[in-house]
Amino acid sequence: MKLTFPLSVEEAVPFSRLTTLGVGGPARYVARPADRFRARELLDFCREHSLPVHILGQGSNMLVCDQGFDGMVLCYQDRRIERLGEGRLRAGSGGVWDELVALSVAEGLAGIECLSGIPGLVGAAPIQNIGAYGQEVAETLHEVEALDRTTGAEIRFPREQCGFGYRHSHFKGDWAGRYLVTGLVLQLRPGGEATVRYADLRRRLGEGSTALGLPQVRQLVLEIRRSKSMVVDPADPNSRSAGSFFVNPVVPEAEADRIAKTVGKPMPRYPAADGVKLSAAWLMETAGWCRGHVQGRAGLSENHVLALTNRGGATAWELVELAARVRRTVQQRLGVALVPEPNFLGFPKPALELLDEVAEAL
């Protein structure tokens, strides 16, 4: 039966056009509602017709199976930015994240300058609690605006209710799939100094640097990210990735001590709320993986070992097999189970279970 949708819809759109990895089969339908009213109308329609819905931003943190997704892909389009005064900005979730960072820096609002160059849309920021170079969005987030996908209710969640942790929030955990994030409000610091906590930033800026300007820090962060191919660039095949494929693991201090003793060389480690945060990239390299590794049409970035790349024409399954090999090697040699950061869509099993099963079959 041909469905008559309440707004314009595309059919059979390859996910290779919708994600930065450039892999994945077709989405049955794709719609781009302009605001929360059209989004609610579409969600109601899909619910009435038992049509699964997946919310997609820029697709910069996605791995979609080769069979695609037999449902509706909703790409929310509200890109408005409002200045609320006293350092507060409200941004629609369909806007490009880095454009919001650039605006904040240009207007002298401190708090997200180190999050420059992170690919994706504004709506993904609170879901993932994006972070880089010593900053997390949770530090400046005032509230999240969302649409309950079941009831259609509009809800505002104060930061304290969002369950933020390292690369985590309730939107990614207990509330996964329940809400469409439609916007957020940031509380930034007018005239504030840039944040320079990250060792690499301090080193490049010079240990004696003080009162650093926001534009200076933003530019340096962008340069570092480009050097690692972590800024999406069509001219750079190493950026055909989902960014960092594995989360930096947080382990108990005793476990970190065990790993350091096993390896027998200095190991990067950072204090974390629940223990010690380790470098997933360092663990991979210590386990024997290197930049530029090639496995068929998939591989590891030549500039950043943590990024799995589509070298051209790769399938999603090739990337799954590479991820499974990496995860198995690190676990066997160092006793650390790496957790994938991208969202897996359309696969028959959850990501960790899938990777373990594939690793056993290799």
Q: Which residues are catalytic?
A: 167, 244, 341
CA angle 275, 281, 283 (to 5 degrees): 65
- Name the pairing type of β-strands 69-74 and 343-345: unpaired
CB neighbourhood size of 231 (10 A) = 20
Rounded to a whole number, what is the distance in angstroms from the first to the last CA of the chain?
42
23 Cβ contact partners less than 8 Å away, ≥ 6 residues apart: 15, 16, 63, 64, 66, 310, 314, 315, 316, 319
Selection from 26, 359, 303, 57 nearest residue 351 by Cα = 359
Whether the Cβ atoms of residue 164 and residue 129 lie closer than 8 Å to each other? yes
202 Cβ contact partners less than 8 Å away, ≥ 6 residues apart: 196, 209
Estimate the crossing angle of helix 253-263 against helix 316-334, to 10 degrees.
90
